[in-house]
Copies of this chain bind each other. A is one copy, B any other.
Amino acid sequence: MGETDELRAMCADAAGRAQRARRVLGLMTSGERTALLNGMGAGIRDHRGAILDANAQDMAAGSGLSAALRDRLLLDAARVEGMARAVESIAGQADPVGSVIEGRELANGIRLEKRRIPLGVVAVIYESRPNVTSDAAALCVRAGNGVVLKGGRESRRSNLAIVGAMHGALEGAGVGDAVVYLDTTDRAAVGELVRLDGLVDLAVPRGGPGLIKAVSEAATVPVVKHDAGVCHVYVDEHITGMEEVAERIVVNAKTHRPGVCNSAETLLVHRGCAAEMMGRLCEALQGAGVEVRGCAETARLCGGVVPADDADWGAEYLDLVIAARVVGSVEEAAAHISEYGSGHTECIVTGSTASARRFVALVDSASVMVNCSTRFADGGEYGLGAEIGISTDRLHARGPMGAFDLMTFQWVLEGDGQIRR
């Protein structure tokens, strides 16, 4: 057996075991799945020591990683407690399995219901943050799915410890294989995993551009991508009385947590208020430590602006840097967003209902904010409970993706002998 055959067999074995376990999981009652999830959360809390030990080994092995990556990788007692609580919060969510999307009685007396049912087995392929391990496992279990987890090499020990901590509860419920960790550092495994038609029902890549690209190109199973967030804030010309709101939103969208995908990367200001607003906004940003890279007009309106080049439009800085541009209209703002954005989240600040309606109609992104920060694009904020990530795809799931987005559905028709005439 060649190396590729061996990898394929390993992936098929993992997915096959998850498929068998998920059938048992899907037949449990909602209450049984809730109890299981609470057990998984308690398991993480009980195994805190082992998880922190494993994480310390990952941190030691990853001394060459960047500071940002090391921060994402690092666990401490509070972060482990946060992971346990996230799992328990998922336990407390409404059960999506069997929930009714719509239903009615047909004219012929047949009762029709469109019910959510589990998708099957989800392959979650991710990098760095070990909490994705428990979040993804818990969301999949809540949805009645099996999950094959493939984390990054740098967090291998932490991930295995977290899966180990949840395993007792899963085993006790008779579904030990509902959460399977694909323990290989061979990068080719990802390619094999996402070609297991019939065994893997959905692949969810969550990570940097390299990972997303590798999965998209290799996959034959359906994929919901969690790609870059190149989010824009557009400050409209109708801003009288809203100047302070605009400043507050722009600074929050950029600086509240610059390293995450729902942070703003580009500021667009309408020419009609640029003289008044661009300088004010750039100074506020600079005062918060942000480097502003602006178009020529922006540079004229504000000191200390670095000239932007073509690579700045569409850049996902994930850092205290922002691109800034003057535009002539809502339409021009929307066209810029359409050309350079990633379809994640955009914001308009305006006092005009007409501008707000126009912006929403023209911008085809997963989330559109009117007079509130892009940072709200988040499953927790939307009331979805936890999220497995933020989909930048347009089919099936879009934006923050929770347990309800990990379902398919089934039409159930109940009659008493009806036939088609």
A372, CB-defined interface residue at 8 Å: yes
19 contacts between A and B (CB under 8 A): A26-B361, A104-B383, A106-B383, A110-B372, A117-B364, A120-B394, A201-B394, A248-B417, A256-B420, A356-B414, A366-B410, A367-B411, A369-B415, A371-B417, A372-B416, A373-B419, A375-B419, A376-B418, A396-B396
In angstroms, how far is the closest chain B Cβ from the Cβ of A127? 24
Report how far A416 CA is from B202 CA in the complex, Å.
Answer: 38
The interface residues of chain B lying within 8 Å CB-to-CB of A383 are 104, 106, 112
A381, CB-defined interface residue at 8 Å: yes
- Across the interface, do B413 and A369 meet the contact criterion of CB distance under 8 Å? yes
In angstroms, how far is the closest chain B Cβ from the Cβ of A414? 4
A188, CB-defined interface residue at 8 Å: no
- Across the interface, do A415 and B372 meet the contact criterion of CB distance under 8 Å? yes
Write the A365-404 contact mask toward B (1 if CB under 8 angstroms, else 0). Answer: 1111111110111000111000000000111101110000
Report how far A202 CA is from B373 CA in the complex, Å.
Answer: 31
Interface residues on A, range: 35 or more
Q: Which residues 211-242 of A sit at the B interface, judged by CB distance below 8 A? A: 222, 242
Which secondary structure dominates where chain A touches chain B? mixed
State the oligomeric state as a number of copies.
2
Looking across the interface, which residue of chain B has its beta carbon closest to that of A119?
Answer: B394
Report how far A395 CA is from B219 CA in the complex, Å.
Answer: 15
* Contact status of A395 and B396, CB under 8 A, knowing A366-B411, A370-B413: yes
The interface residues of chain B lying within 8 Å CB-to-CB of A382 are 106, 112, 411
Of B242, B410, B416, which one neighbours A367 at CB under 8 angstroms? B410
- Across the interface, do A370 and B412 meet the contact criterion of CB distance under 8 Å? yes
* Contact status of A249 and B417, CB under 8 A, knowing A106-B383, A394-B119, A408-B395: yes
* Contact status of A377 and B411, CB under 8 A, knowing A395-B222, A396-B395: yes
- Across the interface, do A245 and B420 meet the contact criterion of CB distance under 8 Å? no
Report how far A305 CA is from B118 CA in the complex, Å.
Answer: 39
- Across the interface, do B417 and A372 meet the contact criterion of CB distance under 8 Å? yes
The interface residues of chain B lying within 8 Å CB-to-CB of A371 are 414-418
A27, CB-defined interface residue at 8 Å: yes
In angstroms, how far is the closest chain B Cβ from the Cβ of A220? 8
A275, CB-defined interface residue at 8 Å: no
Looking across the interface, which residue of chain B has its beta carbon closest to that of A374?
Answer: B420
Report how far A119 CA is from B222 CA in the complex, Å.
Answer: 17
In angstroms, how far is the closest chain B Cβ from the Cβ of A15? 15
- Across the interface, do B110 and A376 meet the contact criterion of CB distance under 8 Å? yes
In angstroms, how far is the closest chain B Cβ from the Cβ of A52? 29
The interface residues of chain B lying within 8 Å CB-to-CB of A395 are 119, 202, 222, 395-396, 408
Report how far A26 CA is from B418 CA in the complex, Å.
Answer: 40
Most chain B CB within 10 A, of A372, A394, A415, is at: A372
